[in-house]
Amino acid sequence: MCAKDYQHFVVSGATGTTVKHTSPTKILEYSFSFMDDVKLLQLFNSVVIPIFSLIENKKTGNQKLLALKEILLSKMATVEG
């Protein structure tokens, strides 16, 4: 499906006022192309993969901190109670 076909699909199925008041020519006026250059894709991956790894590590760290918080709060409650 090319960009013009997709633009027509989006506009024809639009029900919201924001989309209906927007000029159909402005919706998806940019055409998309696939990356043919393998080196560019590798460069993109070399930047993005470490970011996703960092996000996953932060999520894991946050889960461990939340579990530790619950343990410490329960111990404080039993000592004070």
Give pLDDT tens digits for 20-31.
565 655 655 555
The per-residue pLDDT for range 13-55, each reduced to its tens digit, is 666 666 556 565 565 555 556 556 788 888 989 999 999 999 9
Burial (CB < 10 A; 0-12, 13-18, 19+), residue 26, is exposed
Q: CA 39, CA 46: separation in Å to the nearest integer?
A: 10
pLDDT category, 3, cuts 50, 70, 90? low
One domain, residues 50 and 68 = yes
One domain, residues 27 and 49 = no
Range of the domain at 56: 35-81
One domain, residues 4 and 21 = yes
Number of domains observed in the structure of the chain: 2
* pLDDT value at residue 19: 59
pLDDT category, 79, cuts 50, 70, 90? confident
